[in-house]
Structure 1
């Protein structure tokens, strides 16, 4: 199972041959030849990872689930795209090195050395003040998901799509959780870092 729909992305876990899986959405990726032929379709499973449809018996060579929704492009391009950023994040799954550094984690995932903001609360305020914050709908894949917190420093994670995020502070480390797991949800935005470097 990979962090994104392609063979170049981080492989972070496996699924046993013959296991039953839940496909939440599908998208195009690199071509893979597997048990059920050759396919460019990749299936996102309920844990947030992707597996080539060439290994999944869906009874069809085409889509059997909705297409995965991706966030739009930011005004200032990031060094890494959404799938590469998510793969970078999955490579750090379980790490406690980023505790209390959620903003740095997301900025580095997108390829920046630093975010340019002191806290996720400041970043979220800028996102909101500049009209980037969406408060309805499930955050699409690659979106930044913003939260308030009791410390006043805020929190931010990266959306995997389909209601899941990857970020810091999930059981003490980098992990996958529901986007509503943090109680003070603000909304989501494109991965916009206007003053990052």
Structure 2
């Protein structure tokens, strides 16, 4: 099965040649599938899916961050950092803990560089680890920032492990 992406093609004016003359009309909006290009692969925010339902459910890095920002100060996810990270991206993949997520085959592990916007960031601060979402500028959104959902520098938590690309898988 080839990987394809679903694109919305906007309605555009078309020119039809009829009997040597031209008539202007509007083509209806359609779903068009196209092969993945090098540009799509280079764009980490590209959403790749075969299903309109998956596309509708998929989130962007900005939406994942907004999920946290909308809950700033909440204690509802204290002790549930992996759940918060999963919900922020509306993920279908579930992990029992941040450590399970970090050690899983669910995405490549990176231990250097600034984590890109929306990526999952991991720390070994407990037996189950801790996870948050990168802002792309060296900061993170996470639970347990002063015992609440909040924004902090990546160094706020000790024992940095690394990051994995954020996604709605």
TM-score, length basis structure 2: 0.64
Once the two structures are superposed, residues 142-163 of structure 1 have per-residue CA deviations (whole angstroms, 9 ceiling, x without a partner) of 111011123x111110001111
C-alpha distance in structure 1 between counterparts of 2:94 and 2:152, whole Å: 26
Counterpart selection for 1:102 from 81, 84, 94:
81
Q: Is the 8 A contact 1:74 1:190 kept in 2?
A: no
Point out the structure with the larger helix share: 2
Whether the 8 Å CA contact 2:45–2:60 is kept in 1: the answer is no
The answer to whether residue 96 in structure 2 is matched with residue 121 in structure 1 is no
Change (3 A) 1:106 1:131: closer
Q: Does 1:136 align with 2:112?
A: yes
* C-alpha deviation, 1:74, in angstroms: 7.5
Number of the residue aligned with 1:175: 150
C-alpha change, 1:105 and 1:185, in structure 2 (3 Å) is same
> Number of residues paired by the alignment?
121
RMSD, matched Cα: 2.4
Tell me, what secondary structure is at the counterpart of 1:166?
strand
Q: Which runs of 5 or more structure 2 residues have no equivalent in the other structure?
A: 1-42
Larger Rg belongs to: 2
What are the residue-to-residue correspondences of 1:30-49 with 2, within 5 Å? Answer: none
What are the equivalent positions in structure 2 for 1:18-167 lying under 5 Å apart? 71=44, 73=46, 79-112=58-91, 115-127=93-105, 132-150=108-126, 152-167=127-142
